[in-house]
Amino acid sequence: MRFKIISGSGIILVLAVWAFITYTGMVGSLFLPTPTAVILEARKQIEDGIFFQDIWISFYRILIGFLLATLFALPIGVMMGTSKTWKAFWEPIVGFVRYMPVVAFIPLSILWFGTSDMQKFFIIFFGVFFQQVIMIADNCKTVKKSVVEVGLTLGLNRLEVIKDIVVKAAMPSIWDTLRTVWGWAWTYLVVAELVAATSGLGFRIMQAQRYLSTETIILGILTIGLLGLITDTIFGLLAKMMFPWHEKEKINN
């Protein structure tokens, strides 16, 4: 409870500083709007029906791109973490591509897919897939060898050991990886929407920049932050439900 109060105090302090420097005129409204201006802009967008529409469009894009990346990264990452052959094949590819800047692929993605949602899916996929593979492989490597040896002693074959022991033992860590990478996916989504989109939160921010509508920009930024906080909280709650033993270990440690 004490830590929740401290966390809440931090947010209140930031809001108080924002209100103070804007209402007192220390910073002009062109550079930083007042909280009231942002609230009024949110009200206007809700009345116009574009606020929740932008949220849904952006959330849909990030969800599909993230799920596609996870669908492929999970088995490849697990095999990289449990097989030297798979590691030898995939590690040079993943290690090379993951250092390429995603932003540099935006012109190519527009050439290949236009400004459709497929282009957004590609950018999100490209941005998170290779990071997921490396991190999931590392998660699997943390499983104790003694646990694996017990499975082999009980007569399980290699595939059964991976499926029934390694994956299950590493799943709490893998879930934390997905939780972390989900936050990165928001960054790639906004980058894609800033450059090539006709809807979504990123598009709304870029459109506002052209007309110096800083209250719209701040509203978009705060909305993305709030959505990220909500989804991160959901990830945390699901982790407690699915891996209660792991949460107890965290408390004991």
pTM of the shown model: 0.86
Write the CB contacts of 189 (distance below 8 Å, at least 6 apart in sequence). Answer: 58, 61, 62, 65, 120, 123, 124, 200, 202
- Whether the CB-CB separation of 71 and 58 falls below 8 Å is answered with no
Is 2.40.30.10 the CATH number for 49-252? no
Q: How far is residue 130 from each of residues 74, 134, 200, measured CA to CA in Å? A: 11, 6, 25
Q: How far is residue 226 from each of residues 139, 167, 181, 243, measured CA to CA in Å? A: 28, 32, 17, 25
How many C-beta atoms lie closer than 10 Å to residue 95's C-beta? 12
User: pLDDT digits over 107-122, tens only?
Assistant: 888 889 888 889 999 9
Report d(CA 160, CA 238) in Å as an integer: 26
Q: For residue 29, which phi and psi values (nearest 5 degrees)?
A: -65, -25
User: pLDDT digits over 53-94, tens only?
Assistant: 999 999 999 999 999 999 999 999 999 988 888 889 988 888
User: pLDDT digits over 131-171, tens only?
Assistant: 999 999 999 888 877 777 777 677 777 777 778 788 888 89
Report d(CA 231, CA 221) in Å as an integer: 16
Instruction: Give the pLDDT confidence score for residue 248 in this predicted structure.
Output: 57
Which DSSP string corresponds to 12-28? HHHHHHHHHHHHTTSS-
